[in-house]
Chain A
Amino acid sequence: MSGPVVLDPTTLPSDDNVNPYTFCVELRGSQWFLQKGKMIAYYGSIDFQGIGHGRLDRLVRTSFHSPLHASDWVVAEGSGKMLLADRAFDVNSFDLEDGNLTIRSGNLLAFQPSLALKQSIVPGFLTLIGTGKFVAASNGPVVFMEPPIRVDPQALVGWADCPSPCHHYDHGYMTGVMGGVRALTGLGGVSGEEHQFEFVGAGTVLLQSSEALMAEQAAGAPPQEPGVPGGGGHGGQGAPRLPGQLGDLQRRFGL
């Protein structure tokens, strides 16, 4: 029986996967953004700096536009080789060429500063814009699909170039009084697949082959402004909900 492959800095790949679960980044005086705690080992001299102060201000200003996630990200700089991994999930690198890609915030491990990270309008997602390489994790290999497609919310990793993520509910099953009761109580049987995300148009949708999600990290809420989804502002929704009101149930029955 042959032993496992022993790696050292000369045999480690540069900016490529070591195995399906580990990714090696080579730094030559350059910088990478990475999510906190995803570095497992490194050779050479690499510095890790929390972002949001002094020296890195300029870098952050050009390629980091999600202040709510700032505390989860660090900048690695120096020279050497660095191994990234996340909970033994599959790790893959993707190249973006003058494009855009939106990804679940927990799935993004690292990206080059030539990409700009922005917070997506869809809460819990981040958008990368520009040209460069980024590393993302998924539970099971990533599957690329072409829209039009409806996907299970838990299997969605991200999407590129298609600006139409929307909710889709299985209508025949969810409308009417009985449908409402069924969805809310589970009585009468729910398949668990009444709700999907729908994508149409040109682009690519990235799916993972499992419905296990990364732990959501609390990243705060976007600013409270009318018109900002998830922002806590009740822009145009009428009076704030009062305690004792039936809320969603009420609206469902058209009361």
Chain B
Amino acid sequence: MLAVSLAGDAVKAKNGSMVAYDGRMAFKKMSGGGEGIRGMVTRRLTGEQMTVMEVKGQGTCFFADRASEINLVQLQSDTLYVESSNVLCTDGALRTGTSFTGLRGASQGNGLFTTTIEGTGQAAIMSDGPAVVLRVSPQFPLSVDPGAYIAHQGNVSQSFQSGVNFRTFMGEGSGESFQIRFEGDGLVYVQPSERNTVGGEV
């Protein structure tokens, strides 16, 4: 559960994730993630729909969603790439948008697009079990199972790695045929659990 203290400022949170609050709060649904008409259309087109509400007021507000683990991410004029379904709450000052992920998204079964959170402030992301934060640096590239990936930040490039060979087609695949390889400098968040992915089957 996430507790947010507000003193007249605002946060954006996943619609319906408020479980309790004290003080005075106003909840306003923001269509299209509060990104204006253009953002709304983009989200509709990319399938990264996110219903967000703006919470404003004085006091403490508690957020939670399906008892999943909540991880706080501190952003300093940084960009966090995260799946829209894993976003719980962001500071009002952070901008959200969508970006293209290519094949990685397809392998995760989450669509070809992902949500970006930019700016300075804190964001809360959800994971199934506490997330492990792994650093990617030039000498230590990292490979991640698409089903366990939840978010990354920093200046990393991702490429799609596939170990599909003739054995995969003979039903002797290793189950780890697809990985996302992160190179560069940044942080990757993985959860100790795997979503069901297309890649997990082969």
Verify that A and B bind, or say they do not.
Answer: yes
Interface residues of chain A, those whose CB is within 8 Å of chain B, are 1, 3-9, 18-19, 21-22, 36-43, 46-50, 52-53, 71, 74, 83, 85-88, 91
Interface residues of chain B, those whose CB is within 8 Å of chain A, are 69, 71-74, 128-135, 137, 140-145, 147-148, 163, 167, 171-177, 187-188, 190-194, 200
A85 touches B175 (CB 8 A): no
Selected from A4, A38, A87, the residue in CB contact (under 8 A) with B131 is: A4
Across the interface, which residues of B come within 8 angstroms of A36, CB to CB?
A: 174-176
Q: Closest approach, in angstroms, between the C-beta of B190 and any C-beta of chain A?
A: 5
Across the interface, which residues of B come within 8 angstroms of A22, CB to CB?
A: 129, 132, 192
- In the assembly, what is the distance between CA of A28 and CA of B128, in Å? 30
B132 touches A18 (CB 8 A): yes
A5 touches B145 (CB 8 A): no
Across the interface, which residues of A come within 8 angstroms of B167, CB to CB?
A: 50, 53
A40 touches B192 (CB 8 A): yes
A40 touches B187 (CB 8 A): no
Q: Given the known inter-chain contacts A40-B144, A42-B143, A87-B193, please indicate yes or no for A21 contacting B176, CB distance below 8 A.
A: no
Q: Given the known inter-chain contacts A43-B142, A87-B194, please indicate yes or no for A37 contacting B132, CB distance below 8 A.
A: no
A6 touches B174 (CB 8 A): no
B188 touches A41 (CB 8 A): yes
Across the interface, which residues of A come within 8 angstroms of B188, CB to CB?
A: 41
A39 touches B191 (CB 8 A): no
- In the assembly, what is the distance between CA of A38 and CA of B200, in Å? 10
Q: Which residue of B lies closest to A12 (CB)?
A: B134
A88 touches B135 (CB 8 A): no
Q: Closest approach, in angstroms, between the C-beta of A79 and any C-beta of chain B?
A: 13
14 further interface pairs, Cβ-Cβ under 8 Å (given A40-B145, A40-B147, A40-B194):
A5-B133, A6-B134, A9-B140, A22-B192, A40-B148, A43-B134, A43-B140, A43-B142, A43-B143, A50-B175, A83-B134, A87-B128, A87-B192, A87-B194
- In the assembly, what is the distance between CA of A160 and CA of B131, in Å? 32
Across the interface, which residues of B come within 8 angstroms of A7, CB to CB?
A: 132-135
Selected from A3, A4, A8, A37, the residue in CB contact (under 8 A) with B176 is: A37
Q: Which residue of B lies closest to A83 (CB)?
A: B132
B174 touches A48 (CB 8 A): yes
B173 touches A50 (CB 8 A): yes
Across the interface, which residues of A come within 8 angstroms of B192, CB to CB?
A: 19, 21-22, 40, 85-88, 91
B200 touches A40 (CB 8 A): no
Across the interface, which residues of B come within 8 angstroms of A6, CB to CB?
A: 133-135, 187
Q: Which residue of A lies closest to B135 (CB)?
A: A8
- In the assembly, what is the distance between CA of A74 and CA of B174, in Å? 6
A43 touches B174 (CB 8 A): no
- In the assembly, what is the distance between CA of A18 and CA of B134, in Å? 11
Q: Closest approach, in angstroms, between the C-beta of A46 and any C-beta of chain B?
A: 8
B137 touches A39 (CB 8 A): no
- In the assembly, what is the distance between CA of A7 and CA of B133, in Å? 6
Across the interface, which residues of B come within 8 angstroms of A74, CB to CB?
A: 174-176
Q: Which residue of B lies closest to A76 (CB)?
A: B176
Q: Closest approach, in angstroms, between the C-beta of B1 and any C-beta of chain A?
A: 15
- In the assembly, what is the distance between CA of A202 and CA of B135, in Å? 46
Selected from B73, B174, B190, the residue in CB contact (under 8 A) with A41 is: B190
B194 touches A41 (CB 8 A): no
- In the assembly, what is the distance between CA of A34 and CA of B63, in Å? 37
